[in-house]
Chain A
Amino acid sequence: MFGKKLHVSLYRYNPEEDKFPYMKKYIIEKPEKDIMVLDLLHLLKEEDQSVSYRRSCREGVCGSDGMNINGKNGLACITPISSVIKKNSIELRPLPGLPVIRDLVVDMTEFYAQYEKIKPFLQNETTAPEQERLQSPEERDKLDGLYECILCACCSTSCPSFWWNPDKFVGPAALLQAYRFLADSRDLKTEERLEALSDPFSVYRCHGIMNCVSVCPKGLNPNKAIGEIKSMLHKNKKDIIASDRI
């Protein structure tokens, strides 16, 4: 990796100065050792203070720095440049499908609104015991692969269904959380939660494209969770029809 130049093509847009966004080329010395894409951005920012992006934990748990790296969504802080460089160049763009505030910073209002819509909190109105509510390890295991979501939005912003209907389709990230509460043995609002998702858009706009699975930086599988929700919805519908007949 020594001595070669690295070509970075960076999406730039400052609403106070630019009529349109544009790609700006930066040519830098290729770092001697492998670094993360976030470190690369730090280098660019030292050269040009005006480069803007979000970052916080720099270790893949806070979900701030989701972006589109050489065409694929991912977290800058845990993506080594060696894994994405093509022909000594790298292209960085904001997450697709959401309005751009500036450079790599997108407006996540719609993404968070979908998250809030699924009531992302445990609902159990029975009187709480003095100690914890009991949950068997097997029941708790059902939350694995769900609760770990960091809300980075890599999945939802890679989903064509979410691009098309960001206001009506809940999107993979929020659906993963919807299932996290459906799957929790302590939550008692299963019926209400399913009812709220039963319209043609909230869940059913998922067509199993699987981009969400291929980009999730935490290795989670929203598609599988969506499948589980669909099964629960079908079962629920059958139960309702059956009870109508009686």
Chain B
Amino acid sequence: MNNIFTDNIKTIEFDALIIGGGGSGMRASLELAKSGLKTAVVSKVFPTRSHTVSAQGGITCAIASADPNDDWRWHMYDTVKGADFIGDQDAIEYLCSEGPKAVFELEHMGLPFSRFENGRIYQRPFGGQSKDFGKGGQASRTCAAADRTGHALLHTLYQNNVKEGTNFFNEWFAVDLVKNSKDEVTGVIAFSIENGEVAYLKAQATVLATGGAGRIYASTTNALINTGDGLAMALRAGFPAQDMEMWQFHPTGIYGAGSLVTEGCRGEGGYLINKDGERFMERYAPNVKDLAGRDVVARSMVLEILEGRGCGEKNDHIFLKLDHLGADVLNSKLPGICELSRTFAHVDPIYEPIPVVPTCHYMMGGTPTNINGQAYTRNNGQDELIPGLFSAGEAACVSVHGANRLGGNSLLDLVVFGRATGMHIQQELKSGGGVDSSTKSDINKSLERLNALNDSTSGNDPAEVKRELQECMQNYFGVFRRGEFMKKGLDQLSEIKEKVDNLHLKDKSNAFNTSRVEAIELQNLFEVAESTAVSAYIRNESRGAHARDDYPDRDDENWLCHTIFDPLTKEVSKRGVNFQPSKVEAFPPKVRTY
């Protein structure tokens, strides 16, 4: 793989190219494959190994099954409030109103949802859900396939892509975007992990559907593959990222292992206790207790631990109590959790509580897009679409989750916006849209990083640098943040940057060389971590998942806005939040309590 230039690699041409074979990527590809456009999915793992597979509790959507009077507007209200009012309301309206269509389509494709006695899809309560705009009590709005909803969804999407004959480049790794002189995106440079073949995959539309990047933290529920590859490619190409300070810490990651324990456990009636056996959420969220927003529950848990009421020898975790639900409920509704808990916590939830701790879970930020999945950049304080570039799912920031995502909304996000992106690309390309070609030197530019790594003869060990990066993010940009600490973190990041720029790839072989993949992933993680750190340091308030010790209050006067990180200047600017839904009145900001 030495000295790769445009002249010695293949160009393979498509109408639409999707980077990432998870839920949003495969929902987009399904739409496009059905339309007859020449479509390909590039996935660094076989698609059913994507992280969507780990989603457990369900997909939140007002399909009016548990409650025939349920209304998407109530779901919209909950989502706006959950987002602490910096979610774009046009996008949230689209998410919640289109949601039922997207969920019924999944059912028609064969997704094995659990069922109620009347044969309709089973729905369970999740955190932050209400009826009648917060006035009618707890809602049950999360559609579930036991506690394996992500697995069922991802496999169903893959199966339907097989049915439609989608092209898959499985175990191919996308390295960098290719741009032409007009700054339009014309595809990616990618290589086959299996044999090292490098190719320019050229496309009229390139969709980043690469998911999250939870691996910037030392402790995360995310798969090892969640390294923010798409977002990092966009940043390196000079395109901005939005709301990168907003990272969700899930209240219940298994202590020590990080594996996720679904919020559905608390939806089914489980609750958190401290070392005294006290159900402490009654103090922090008297109305909905353990089903408050995830940010609220995670902070409450950290406070309990900091105040010495944590469980275990080191008083450093919390217990999730489920045994009172009984073996029948646990085996039928939460079988996967029982399995995970026995394997990773050595605890059987039928008899004992599960040790849990808030764990990095979800990236609310990402490449900014509109509701058609079109990515945009900023020009003189205005949004400007990037021709040829799209994004959907966790990699994108559309923004429906604002400062805090509600449980069950990520699966809905990826099917609704994967679908919308596919529909829009179809429309655009069929009406003659597209991009100009890139020149050889444009393409060579996107090969530089791969060549540099292949040419490295000395430098830093990627595994060591990765550990340093993850510890830095964990220490300085975790659940609670403070200016002076974040400053230290930023200083440390600039030292890490030098190391990341000088990695040594010892193994230069071509056949299934996972160390090459891991070195590129580390570079991607750094891009995401840097944008996170810079954005977090700037936002001088506490909102949603971004909790500052030194600015404990929400500040709507100055910070009712998105942050936009510019990778070229490393500076952050503000962008207004959309308060213009088309079918309902906007929900104005108010104090957020549960």
Query: Chain A residues in contact with chain B, CB under 8 A?
Result: 14-17, 45-46, 49-50, 52-64, 78, 101-103, 105, 108, 112, 116, 119-122, 124, 128, 130-137, 139-140, 143, 147-148, 150-151, 181, 184, 186-187
- Convert B100-133 into 0s and 1s, putting 1 for each residue whose CB lies closer than 8 angstroms to a CB of A: 0001100111101111111111000000000000
Give every chain B residue within 8 A of A102 (Cβ-Cβ).
511-512
Q: Find out whether the CB atom of B49 lies under 8 angstroms from the CB atom of A130.
A: no
Give every chain B residue within 8 A of A124 (Cβ-Cβ).
108
Smallest CB–CB gap between B383 and chain A, Å?
35
Give every chain A residue within 8 A of B506 (Cβ-Cβ).
49-50
Q: Find out whether the CB atom of B53 lies under 8 angstroms from the CB atom of A57.
A: yes
Q: Find out whether the CB atom of A56 lies under 8 angstroms from the CB atom of B110.
A: no
A121-B162, A147-B155 given as contacts; is B49 within 8 A of A63 (CB)?
yes
Question: Closest residue of chain B to A17, judged by CB?
Answer: B509
Give every chain A residue within 8 A of B104 (Cβ-Cβ).
128, 130-132
- Convert B44-74 into 0s and 1s, putting 1 for each residue whose CB lies closer than 8 angstroms to a CB of A: 0110111101100000000100000000000
Given contacts A57-B53, A139-B115, 12 further A-B contacts (CB under 8 A): A16-B510, A49-B463, A50-B507, A52-B514, A54-B49, A56-B45, A59-B343, A120-B159, A133-B108, A135-B119, A136-B117, A137-B116
Give every chain B residue within 8 A of A128 (Cβ-Cβ).
104, 108
Q: Is B513 an interface residue (CB 8 A)?
A: yes
Q: Is B224 an interface residue (CB 8 A)?
A: yes
Bound Cα distance from A187 to B155, whole angstroms: 16
Q: Find out whether the CB atom of A121 lies under 8 angstroms from the CB atom of B48.
A: no
Q: Find out whether the CB atom of B512 lies under 8 angstroms from the CB atom of A135.
A: no
Smallest CB–CB gap between A49 and chain B, Å?
4
Q: Find out whether the CB atom of B162 lies under 8 angstroms from the CB atom of A150.
A: no
* Most-contacted residue by chain A among B339, B511, B513, B515 (CB, 10 A): B511
Partner of B63 from the list A52, A61, A131, A184 (CB cut-off 8 Å) is: A131
Q: Find out whether the CB atom of B110 lies under 8 angstroms from the CB atom of A186.
A: yes
**22 sampled A-B residue pairs with Cβ under 8 A:** A16-B509, A16-B510, A49-B507, A52-B514, A56-B51, A56-B224, A56-B225, A58-B259, A64-B46, A112-B46, A122-B159, A128-B104, A131-B63, A132-B120, A133-B107, A136-B119, A137-B116, A140-B112, A143-B112, A147-B155, A148-B151, A187-B110
Give every chain B residue within 8 A of A53 (Cβ-Cβ).
514
Q: Is B492 an interface residue (CB 8 A)?
A: no
Partner of A101 from the list B112, B155, B511 (CB cut-off 8 Å) is: B511
Bound Cα distance from A119 to B113, whole angstroms: 20
Give every chain A residue within 8 A of B108 (Cβ-Cβ).
122, 124, 128, 132-133
Give every chain B residue within 8 A of A133 (Cβ-Cβ).
107-108
Partner of A59 from the list B145, B344, B510 (CB cut-off 8 Å) is: B344
Q: Which 6 A-B pairs have the closest CB atoms?
A: A122-B110, A134-B119, A132-B107, A121-B159, A102-B512, A62-B49
Partner of A135 from the list B50, B115, B162, B224 (CB cut-off 8 Å) is: B115
Give every chain A residue within 8 A of B344 (Cβ-Cβ).
59
Q: Find out whether the CB atom of B510 lies under 8 angstroms from the CB atom of A147.
A: no
Q: Find out whether the CB atom of A64 lies under 8 angstroms from the CB atom of B515.
A: no
Q: Find out whether the CB atom of A15 lies under 8 angstroms from the CB atom of B511.
A: yes
Bound Cα distance from A16 to B51, whole angstroms: 31
Give every chain B residue within 8 A of A148 (Cβ-Cβ).
148, 151
Give every chain B residue within 8 A of A61 (Cβ-Cβ).
53-54, 148, 151, 336
Bound Cα distance from A56 to B514, whole angstroms: 12
Q: Is B223 an interface residue (CB 8 A)?
A: yes
Smallest CB–CB gap between B257 and chain A, Å?
8
Bound Cα distance from A185 to B432, whole angstroms: 43
Q: Find out whether the CB atom of A134 lies under 8 angstroms from the CB atom of B120.
A: yes
Smallest CB–CB gap between A173 and chain B, Å?
12
Q: Find out whether the CB atom of B163 lies under 8 angstroms from the CB atom of A121.
A: yes
Q: Find out whether the CB atom of A63 lies under 8 angstroms from the CB atom of B48.
A: yes
Q: Find out whether the CB atom of B45 lies under 8 angstroms from the CB atom of A121.
A: no
Bound Cα distance from A237 to B492, whole angstroms: 72
A64-B45, A151-B48 given as contacts; is B112 within 8 A of A52 (CB)?
no
Q: Is B235 an interface residue (CB 8 A)?
A: no
Give every chain B residue within 8 A of A101 (Cβ-Cβ).
194, 511-512
Q: Find out whether the CB atom of A140 lies under 8 angstroms from the CB atom of B114.
A: yes
Smallest CB–CB gap between A52 and chain B, Å?
5
Bound Cα distance from A147 to B506, whole angstroms: 42
Q: Is B300 an interface residue (CB 8 A)?
A: no
Question: Closest residue of chain B to A62, judged by CB?
Answer: B49
Question: Closest residue of chain B to A140, judged by CB?
Answer: B115
Q: Is B26 an interface residue (CB 8 A)?
A: no
Bound Cα distance from A134 to B107, whole angstroms: 10
Smallest CB–CB gap between B471 and chain A, Å?
16
A116-B162, A121-B163, A148-B148 given as contacts; is B223 within 8 A of A57 (CB)?
yes
Question: Closest residue of chain B to A50, judged by CB?
Answer: B507
A46-B463, A56-B51, A135-B115 given as contacts; is B151 within 8 A of A121 (CB)?
no
Give every chain B residue within 8 A of A140 (Cβ-Cβ).
112-115
Q: Find out whether the CB atom of A150 lies under 8 angstroms from the CB atom of B151.
A: yes
Smallest CB–CB gap between A114 and chain B, Å?
13
Q: Is B160 an interface residue (CB 8 A)?
A: yes
Partner of B112 from the list A46, A105, A147 (CB cut-off 8 Å) is: A147
A15-B511, A17-B509, A101-B511 given as contacts; is B45 within 8 A of A54 (CB)?
yes
Give every chain B residue within 8 A of A63 (Cβ-Cβ).
48-49
Question: Closest residue of chain B to A146, judged by CB?
Answer: B112
Give every chain B residue within 8 A of A181 (Cβ-Cβ).
110
Question: Closest residue of chain B to A53, judged by CB?
Answer: B514
Q: Find out whether the CB atom of B225 lies under 8 angstroms from the CB atom of A14.
A: no
Q: Is B340 an interface residue (CB 8 A)?
A: yes
Smallest CB–CB gap between B215 and chain A, Å?
11
Give every chain A residue within 8 A of B110 (Cβ-Cβ).
121-122, 181, 184, 186-187
Smallest CB–CB gap between A113 and chain B, Å?
11
Smallest CB–CB gap between A218 and chain B, Å?
8
Give every chain A residue within 8 A of B54 (Cβ-Cβ).
57, 59, 61-62
Question: Closest residue of chain B to A107, judged by CB?
Answer: B194
Q: Is B92 an interface residue (CB 8 A)?
A: no
B70-114 residues at the A interface, CB under 8 angstroms: 103-104, 107-110, 112-114
Q: Find out whether the CB atom of B48 lies under 8 angstroms from the CB atom of A150.
A: yes
Q: Find out whether the CB atom of B224 lies under 8 angstroms from the CB atom of A50.
A: no
Partner of B223 from the list A49, A52, A62, A131 (CB cut-off 8 Å) is: A62
Q: Find out whether the CB atom of A50 lies under 8 angstroms from the CB atom of B515.
A: yes
Question: Closest residue of chain B to A122, judged by CB?
Answer: B110
* Most-contacted residue by chain A among B110, B145, B162, B515 (CB, 10 A): B110
Give every chain A residue within 8 A of B151 (Cβ-Cβ).
61, 148, 150
Bound Cα distance from A121 to B506, whole angstroms: 43
Q: Is B389 an interface residue (CB 8 A)?
A: no
Bound Cα distance from A119 to B514, whole angstroms: 32
Partner of B109 from the list A52, A122, A150 (CB cut-off 8 Å) is: A122
Bound Cα distance from A90 to B162, whole angstroms: 38
Question: Closest residue of chain B to A120, judged by CB?
Answer: B159
Question: Closest residue of chain B to A149, judged by CB?
Answer: B155
* Most-contacted residue by chain A among B112, B115, B160 (CB, 10 A): B112
* Most-contacted residue by chain A among B49, B113, B121 (CB, 10 A): B49
Give every chain B residue within 8 A of A78 (Cβ-Cβ).
343
Give every chain A residue within 8 A of B109 (Cβ-Cβ).
121-122
Q: Find out whether the CB atom of B49 lies under 8 angstroms from the CB atom of A56.
A: yes
A57-B54, A136-B119 given as contacts; is B152 within 8 A of A50 (CB)?
no
